[in-house]
């Protein structure tokens, strides 16, 4: 902000200096004319002064126009810079959105895999539970058979 102000201040100072230089040139031109026409009437002096002022006004407008064109060019450059910064930010934003999208896809993929693993684990737990119950039942059946066999052996032994 201060850089812009100081730049404007410098340009304003330069414009003022140019205006003073032109005013001095105007005065010198009029004095030169008057030295060449020492017996000129007031009407001739006014006419020459009017003509010199018009030329000076045109030059002053030219200087002011040049100053404004310089300011316009400076603003165009700043606008270009801002546009470049904006484009860089847009590019960065697109890259971030792409990264987020890719990470979301990866999370969905991992979530799907986790769900499948959990489902498989639940199926294995159910299968293991069935096997455990079947083993317990077979163990009881075996124990019964062994008890029966033992009873039969005892009975056979007694006879």
Q: Could you report the per-residue pLDDT of 88-103, keeping only the tens digit for each?
A: 999 999 999 999 999 9
> Is pLDDT above 50 for 4?
no
The 10 Å Cβ neighbour count of residue 87 is 10
pLDDT band at residue 159 under the 50/70/90 scheme: low
> Is pLDDT above 80 for 75?
yes
The maximal CA–CA distance of the chain, rounded, in angstroms, is 175
Output the pLDDT for position 3.
Answer: 45
Do residues 68 and 11 make contact, with C-beta atoms less than 8 angstroms apart? Answer: no
pLDDT band at residue 62 under the 50/70/90 scheme: confident
> Is pLDDT above 90 for 120?
yes
State pTM to two decimals: 0.44
Q: How far is CA 14 from CA 6, 20, 77, 87, 134, in A?
A: 12, 10, 21, 35, 103
> What residue spans define the domains of the chain?
2-116
> Is pLDDT above 90 for 111?
yes
Kindly give the interhelix angle for 42-158 and 2-36, rounded to the nearest 10 degrees: 170
Closest CA to 3 of 85, 74, 84: 74
Output the pLDDT for position 86.
Answer: 97
Planar angle of CA 33, 39, 43, nearest 5 degrees:
75
């Amino acid at each position: 902000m201060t850089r812009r102000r100081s730049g404007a201040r410098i340009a304003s100072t330069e414009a003022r200096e140019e205006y003073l230089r032109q005013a001095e040139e105007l005065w010198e031109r009029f004095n030169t004319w008057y030295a060449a026409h020492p017996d000129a009437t007031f009407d001739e002096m006014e006419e020459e002064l009017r003509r010199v002022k018009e030329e000076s006004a045109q030059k002053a407008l030219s200087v002011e126009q040049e100053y404004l064109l310089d300011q316009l060019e400076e603003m165009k450059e700043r606008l270009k810079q801002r546009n470049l910064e904006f484009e860089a930010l847009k590019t960065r934003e697109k890259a971030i959105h792409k990264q987020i999208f890719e990470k979301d896809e990866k999370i969905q993929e991992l979530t799907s895999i986790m769900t499948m693993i959990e489902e498989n684990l639940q199926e294995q737990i159910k299968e293991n539970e069935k096997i455990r119950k079947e083993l317990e039942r077979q163990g009881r059946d075996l124990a019964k058979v062994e008890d029966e066999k033992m009873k039969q052996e005892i009975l056979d032994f007694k006879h």
